[in-house]
Structure 1
Amino acid sequence: MINDNHRDADPVYERLGRQAAALLQLRRFVLFALAASLLTSAALSAVILTQKDRTRTVVIAPAESTVTYSAEEDSVSANLLERFAMNALALISNMTPATAAWQTETFLKYAAPESYGEIAAALRSGAAELARNQAAVAFFPMAVSVDRDEKRVCVKGEERLFIGRTVTGSEPAVLCLALTVRAGRLWIAALTKRPAGEFDAQGSNPNSTRTQTKGGRS
């Protein structure tokens, strides 16, 4: 009788042993899969962090226009440089006492962080002077020079100063913006004003382009 009980118990112990071994093997497999997943995720993260983003973004003008603009991480198309510069310069070259402060602050939103202080001091001083003298300034573009490699845009035109309807001053001038591109976004690195005679020098770069506005002269 005792021998029969021992014989009946053996299969039970064997079955429990097999189940325990199976559970242990399953646990080892899960741990191995988890470790492999973590290693794969770490490797993928390292590749993403170290790989340079060369995503190309194409900006399309309004539907009625056939002009397209392109931007990459560290460069943009020449026509995008020109459009950005013309819009930015219009803010600070056509001002009245009522709009000078707002237009100056709007322009400064596009100033590069490292250039903000210098540009802000000069523009705010000029805006305050316009308001104090109740004067207005207008700039009439005649020609544009775009250097894509240097990311520089220069606009040649005539600058006029008004008090009321009276023109109190008029002179030819060249306004230049030095730009920088970071993560596909344009920033203003420098703003300069040059004598009109220096405009032709901008065409010496074979990679530069020049366009002329309607009714202007080069």
Structure 2
Amino acid sequence: MSDGHQKLPPKKEVALALLEGPSMYVHLDPRRSGVLVPKRFLDKPQLVLQIGLNMFIPIPDLKVDDEGISCTLSFDRAPFWCRMPWNAIYALVGEDGRGMMWPTDIPPEVVAQMQAPPQQAKDAQKPVPKRPRPRLAAVGDAPPEPEEKALAEDPDSAPASAPPPEEAAAKEDASGEAAAAAESIAEEPKTVEATESPRPQAAPAQLPGRKPRRELPPYLRVVK
């Protein structure tokens, strides 16, 4: 197959290269002949399945040959043996985003979806209408307390709890002493203790003995 003037590598070669990593995503058209997946996916224009040799849950019967890819996968916690011929696969992508796409095998529905901007992106760009702020309404004065009401009716009368002149003089002397003490405290210079700045923590050291990842073939590119 060709992509313009550039000849694309075989799908089997790309699949074997991507299987060196943790896993890869197989993009296929389940409506093509020879595809074996659960029945609820057979009428869909596209299906993406994750397979790999180094996954957390291993796939012991994973097979990649000249016919395509076959293995047992889990759908809703139920095992199902799948068969994916090469003519139904139109893209193979690794976890890091690098892979290969074969444009002549892409379903027309997927091509239209890739060319047209998604409606959700348009809706996200619309400004959200602002809610009007609640208005504050003026309220009348609160009714006077019973004691204040009685004073307003009879201004010459004094409250029953008024202190005698001796106690009022004692309170004035006490308040004068408190004010003098406050002034003496205000005149004293304040001292500020210097605090030490926190020391920067050392970065954690890398664990020794970690093997570098194997590099993929140079013809693989990032698939969006």
Greater relative contact order (CA < 8 Å, ≥ 6 in sequence): 2
Give your verdict on TM over 0.5: no
- TM-score using structure 1 length: 0.20
Q: Which has the higher helix share?
A: 1
TM-score (norm 2): 0.20
